[in-house]
Structure 1
Amino acid sequence: MEGSTSQGTRRGGRGTFGARIAVIFGLQMLVVVIASLMTAYNVAPLGATLAIMLCSGALAWLAVSRAWAPIAALAKLLNGWDPDHPDMQGLEAEGGKRSNADVSSLIRGLHGLASRIEGFGDRERNFTRDASHELRSPLTVIKMSSDMLADETDLSEFGHRSLERIRRSTRELESLVEAFLILSRESDQGLAEEDFIVNKVLRQEVDYARELIAGRPVELILDEPAAFALHASPRVFAVLCGQLIRHALQQTDQGTIVVTVMPGSVSVINPAVDSPEPGSRRHAAVDRHGFDLAIARRLSDRFQWPLELRALPGASRVASVRFPNPQPVEA
């Protein structure tokens, strides 16, 4: 108790920046008033009064500059601050040699904030590294095991149906893990960018999505009236378009879903459907896979690829993504 009291007294004795400035300018005003009265009552000549005022102003400026020096030093330190490599030792050293209570409070707050941000960065890197390995490894095992089961000749019809459900769920989980790993990164580091043709990536995503509608009265068509290339991460593009396609599949009981490639944009059109009754299996599927659309929105916002949702006549719905700076496809 005694130690904390003495510490609080010591901090309180330092004074705040505002209090110091008030004392400095209060003393200067007092000097000006006294000098003016001395001139008014012919106690001192006008030249001496002006000299006193100028000297008091210079002394006040020096005192304010000295009081402002810790703020300027802290601003200089923060101006060269690198969030990826925070200079915690420099911040601690800056706080150790300052006696201003306001600056000490700022440095303590910044030190705590920088420590938390550094901890968040470490947890982000650990999560993306561990999740990338620990989640993908079992998925790989499941895919290899399902492929081995598919080669079994004496597998029953029920077993084949169960195997297809396992494959579809594995594919969905794989896409979801990929989306989460992309969104969990604070920056785009680790995502290799390259020039790629969007049509080729879309064909692969459409083929993957067709596995999810096996046995359902739903048709998935890729319409390619145009072709263009992008300089970006093909993984991010594939995950974004895959989420939009899966969202359309979950919203469609029957009919034709059309994925269209236009100059600089990709759209997914699913046919009109009746609104599902609350509590039904269809309603649950619609609610759950609004989640795919939420992920697609976050990806489009993150990489600045505008996503637009609209309804066509007949209540058909269109989700389109526009890609700035599309590149022509060279022959």
Structure 2
Amino acid sequence: MSTLENNQAIDFKANDAFSRAKGAVRTKVICHLGPKTKDPESISELVESGMNVACLNFAQGNTQQHLEIVQNLRMYLAATKRMCAILVDTRGAKARTGKLKNSQPVKLKGGSTVRIMPDLDFLGDETAFGVSYSNLSQVMAPGRDILIDDGLVHLVVTEINGKNVDCTVVADAVLGEQKGVNLPGIRTDMPTLTAKDEQDLILSCEQKVDIVAASFIRKAEDAKKVRQFLDTHGGSNIKMFSKIENQEGLENFDEILSLSDGILVARGDLGIEIPTEKVTIAQKMMIAKCNIAGKPVVTATQMLDSMINNPRPTRAETTDVANAV
């Protein structure tokens, strides 16, 4: 039966049209845990409400907070005999903005010029700021876009001045510290694992977590490096999921999939690195290939985002979840 034939036969009035068979739940729920959900009571509520995987975002928080979550979760699981996996989401080698004067966000005016400098110690303002990527001037060219803070800040390169990059601000925006910097369509030479990533992976091995989601996997060699690092540090039993977050990762998807235990579709950065309208197509492609390969695939970013503040999801969000499943 074709997809069209299957869909037209759906009885939307049936109460059990989308019910889950007991013991046959294929789709799992992953929850990011942080300072507000690290206590035993919150963890208990999350597991009992359906959390299958607890995700620790190592781009945020500190080691002590993460260890506290692991300890509280494992104590609860031991006492109740329930099951819940632990997934570590690495920070990855992503360019970020540097410090600003008085550590305060600055307003950038549309049409103005701003200089980007490869100097994290530089105290930036509305005329110039630093970034963590030292080779920015070598990979950029006039006319190229630079997107900061998930695209909230849009700059267009006008000139390369030595190691500095001069840009025009496309529209009024607010620039903050430690915000992600995306270079759509640009292949960078940033390392697969930063010093922080290596420390976090060693901690993950020591804590015997279940899954590591490696950020910004661009090619097969990246996946190999993460796998080898885990194996070398006692993490051979840890599953390695590759996060696909840019054009290069999509182009090399087949070889990345073959070397990974699973895939995480990171729609946030991916939606900045490639045209937004292509994210859905890329998502469908990756999910289908993972299904064929028999490997798990995670769809992430802005999933049920409105429920941070509201008790019910939007209609668009429920459709998004159904489409991912």
Which TM-score band applies after superposition, normalised by the shorter structure? under 0.3
TM-score between the two structures when normalised by the length of structure 1: 0.19
- Normalized per residue, the structure richer in strand is 2
Q: Which has the larger radius of gyration?
A: 1
- Normalized per residue, the structure richer in helix is 1
